[in-house]
Amino acid sequence: MSAPETPAPPAPPDPPAPPAPLPFADSLWLAPLTMGGNLPYRRLCVEFGAQVTVGEMAVVRKLLRNDPAEFALLKSHPDEPCFGVQLADRSPDSLAEGARLAESRGARFVDLNCGCPIHEITRRGLGASLLRKPGKVARLIESMAKAVRIPVTVKLRLGWAEDEQNVRSVAKACEDAGAAAIAIHGRTREQRYSRAADWDVIGAVAAERGIPVVGNGDILTHYEARERRRRSGVTALMLGRGALISPWLFRELRQGREWLPTPEERVGVLWRLVELQREHFGVDERGQKRARRFLAWHLDFLHRWRALPEAEFAAEAAEHPLIHRRSPLPDASRPALERLLADPRKATHETLTDALLPCPTRDEALERCRALAASLTFEEGAEEPDASVTPAG
Ligand SMILES: Cc1cc2nc3c(=O)[nH]c(=O)nc-3n(C[C@H](O)[C@H](O)[C@H](O)COP(=O)(O)O)c2cc1C
């Protein structure tokens, strides 16, 4: 007689389904921007059509020390359709832990910074210095990918220096290690911002790789975006300084046509940023102090916007990226409000910030800006410096 059958043990629960792949291909990304990519500004860009947003670079060492300022960089808003946390470190274990922290706080993906050119970062073996060690980059990505269910992406430059342009092999190592997408800023670490971004090299990587390659560098207008997309074959684009100068650039790219806002409409955008800041930072003294610092910082980019209609500037853009041109300041024939918004002086940005922050309504914001414009003396014949900065990526 056979032994009575023991009931089968209950089937183990199905493993959780892998998360659906994120819509990285054919998307518009707001670049990771230290200082500039704060939560209210990211929301403003989302309202204008950014589909993927990346947080400011978070240093894992500081996260592991429980530094609250670093933890603030992991925070996103439900309005952000696809937010990723960017991490900087060089240890597989630390990055695995950093990725877990990002995932636990709601990030939809986690990005490894391999582009930061700043000495303070590269001398520790982080950021762009990783480009010199493709094998190490691969191990870091593998470790992050094993630690979390969300996709892991990586942001690269072309290489460390012009004679060390190894982005093609680094990109291959990243894909083989499990990266879900690769963003490429088309310059080397040594070039910083001095040269035009090389979209042909970005295109060569895109042609070789099976995962989305996100092109980045020098996009200031919708027609430059169109030309670079066509030339390189990438479908996803990442905007950095262009989005800081004109957050509405996302809308222009999505609609494929330019929007040249009036000064009044630009005050409306500033006002919207003030509203979003108020919601995030709060209206108490501490919150307003932070809002003041960020708004004045943003004005240092926003004031650089100039109308660059395609019909007039497409030929020049074909020669050299428009972001590198020096724009004349609007002269006395232009409306005072336009001159106020283009004023490059730090003191003006601070006065404008102080005028905008306490305004209860958009109409009052406009009224105050008009009054301020009427009271300012502008510099004649001055020229705006180009948009070069010393940022983290
Ligand atoms: C103010 C500022 C801050 C930046 N911070 C970061 C950062 O935290 N992480 C990063 O990978 N890149 C950073 N970058 C680099 C940008 O993400 C982007 O790669 C670079 O600006 C080139 O794109 P663009 O020509 O569209 O500006 C920063 C750039 C700027 C201007």
| Geometric angle at alpha carbon 36, from 278 and 24, rounded to 5° | 105
| Geometric angle at alpha carbon 356, from 281 and 354, rounded to 5° | 85
CB-ligand 1 contact for 393 (6 Å cutoff): yes
Residue 35 CA, ligand 1 centroid: distance in Å: 10
| Category of 168 on φ-ψ map: left (φ > 0), alpha (ψ -120 to 50) or beta | alpha
pTM attached to this predicted model: 0.93
Cβ count within 10 A of residue 318: 11
Residue 30 CA, ligand 1 centroid: distance in Å: 10
Of 110, 113, 116, 207, residue with least CA distance to 168:
207
Closest atom of ligand 1 to 185 CA is: 19
Three-state secondary structure along 112-143?
EEECCCCHHHHCCCCHHHHHHCHHHHHHHHHH
Residue 63 CA, ligand 1 centroid: distance in Å: 21
Q: What pLDDT score was predicted for residue 326? A: 86
Cα–Cα distance list, 224 to 28, 49, 218, 230, 303 (Å): 14, 17, 8, 10, 20
CB-ligand 1 contact for 246 (6 Å cutoff): no
Q: Retrieve residue 320's tokens.
A: 């050299």
CB-ligand 1 contact for 86 (6 Å cutoff): yes
Active site residue 174: no
Max intra-chain CA distance, the chain: 107
Block residue for tokens 């000495």: 119
Of 286, 392, 300, residue with least CA distance to 55:
392
CB-ligand 1 contact for 114 (6 Å cutoff): no
Give per-residue pLDDT as tens, 205-251.
999 999 999 999 999 999 999 999 999 999 899 999 999 999 999 99
Per the CB < 8 A criterion, the answer to whether 26 and 236 are in contact is yes
- The residues, ordered by sequence, that sit 6+ positions from 121 with a Cβ below 8 Å of its Cβ are 88, 127, 128, 129, 392
Cβ count within 10 A of residue 6: 6
Residue 13 CA, ligand 1 centroid: distance in Å: 44
Q: Whose CA is nearest to atom 26 of ligand 1?
A: 240
Residue 138 CA, ligand 1 centroid: distance in Å: 23
- Tell me which of 114, 116, 174, 359 is the catalytic residue: 116
Closest atom of ligand 1 to 321 CA is: 25
Q: Retrieve residue 227's tokens.
A: 């030309």
Closest atom of ligand 1 to 155 CA is: 11
Q: Alpha helix locations (H) across 306-345? A: 310-319, 336-342
Residue 99 CA, ligand 1 centroid: distance in Å: 21
Closest atom of ligand 1 to 36 CA is: 1
Q: Which of 30, 34, 113 to mutate to test the pocket of ligand 1 (most atoms within 8 A of CB)?
A: 34
Q: What is the mean pLDDT of each run of 10 residues along the chain (393 residues)?
A: 60 66 91 98 98 98 98 98 98 98 98 96 96 98 98 98 96 98 96 91 98 98 97 96 98 97 98 98 96 98 97 95 91 94 96 96 97 86 51 46
Q: What pLDDT score was predicted for residue 69? A: 97
CB-ligand 1 contact for 36 (6 Å cutoff): yes
CB-ligand 1 contact for 113 (6 Å cutoff): yes
Please tell me the chain's helix, strand, coil percentages from 3-state DSSP, rounded to the nearest 5: 50, 10, 40
The helix (H) or strand (E) run that includes residue 22 is: none
Closest atom of ligand 1 to 183 CA is: 19
Q: Give the whole-angstrom CA distance, residue 156 versus residue 177.
A: 15
CB-ligand 1 contact for 56 (6 Å cutoff): yes
Per the CB < 8 A criterion, the answer to whether 155 and 111 are in contact is yes
Q: What pLDDT score was predicted for residue 1? A: 45
Q: Give the whole-angstrom CA distance, residue 281 versus residue 214.
A: 31
Q: Give the whole-angstrom CA distance, residue 211 versus residue 25.
A: 8
Q: Give the whole-angstrom CA distance, residue 91 versus residue 61.
A: 10
Per the CB < 8 A criterion, the answer to whether 315 and 325 are in contact is no
CB-ligand 1 contact for 203 (6 Å cutoff): no
Q: Whose CA is nearest to atom 13 of ligand 1?
A: 393
Of 177, 66, 161, residue with least CA distance to 122:
161
Sign of CA dihedral 291, 251, 386, 87: positive
Residue 171 CA, ligand 1 centroid: distance in Å: 19
Block residue for tokens 């990005």: 111
Q: Retrieve residue 21's tokens.
A: 């792949």
Q: Whose CA is nearest to atom 18 of ligand 1?
A: 240
Beta bridge mates, 29 = 52, 238
- The residues, ordered by sequence, that sit 6+ positions from 374 with a Cβ below 8 Å of its Cβ are 336
